[in-house]
Amino acid sequence: MADFLSGRQKNMKIMKKSILVFFILFPTSIFAQIGISLYPINNTIGIKTTPLKTLSLELRMSFDVSHSTADVLYILQPEVNFIYRICKDEKVNFYSGIGGGYGLNNANGNFTNASFLLGLEFYPVAAMRNFTLTAELDPTANFFAGYQTYKMKGLIGITYYFSKIKNKKNDL
């Protein structure tokens, strides 16, 4: 039990240092709308920046429960995704991007991952420009100690932006 706790404490220290290093290396101020995303099929929540800019950022956290061992494991997987909007239109945004994350407390051990994002974000109701639907396909590589796995991950979700999105032709 003590080994399990010391391993968890090491993981938390690594996570805190990684977040600190990220903010030191990428000091940016975000002048954008902030949105909350929910991907219910994948047990994932996210925080996004504006869909009006060509480049944006999304922070995601996946939650999962594993019953593969005698103990129940609560798996957390934080991710950082950098998004590049290929095509911006009044009704839909096509985007691509790269992302990376870390899987904590997995039955097979902790892992890091890298993914390539392909997705679209569209506005189902023209009058509600701060509400979007998202569909995304992510080829993902998970790197465990000594081996790696590859999978295709799909996301379907909704996003609500807290600031009203202006519908200007020069912004889209």
Residue 150 has pLDDT above 60, yes or no: yes
Of 155, 160, 111, 154, the closest CA to residue 132 belongs to 160
User: Model confidence over 102-149: pLDDT tens digits?
Assistant: 988 776 778 899 999 999 998 888 777 788 999 999 999 989 888 889
| For residues 46-66, average pLDDT | 87
Give the up-direction half-sphere exposure of residue 153: CA atoms within 13 A in the CB hemisphere. 20
Strand, helix or coil at 38?
A: strand
Structure tokens at 98: 């790269």
Strands (E), 89-124: 92-103, 111-122
pTM over 0.85: no
| For residues 5-15, average pLDDT | 64
What is the rounded distance in angstroms from the CA atom of residue 129 to the CA atom of residue 117? Answer: 23
Domain-wise residue ranges, the chain: 33-161
CATH code of 33-161, in short, is: 2.40.160.20
Q: CA torsion sign, 39 to 40 to 41 to 42?
A: positive
Q: Any idea what DSSP says for residue 166?
A: P
Residue 13 has pLDDT above 80, yes or no: no
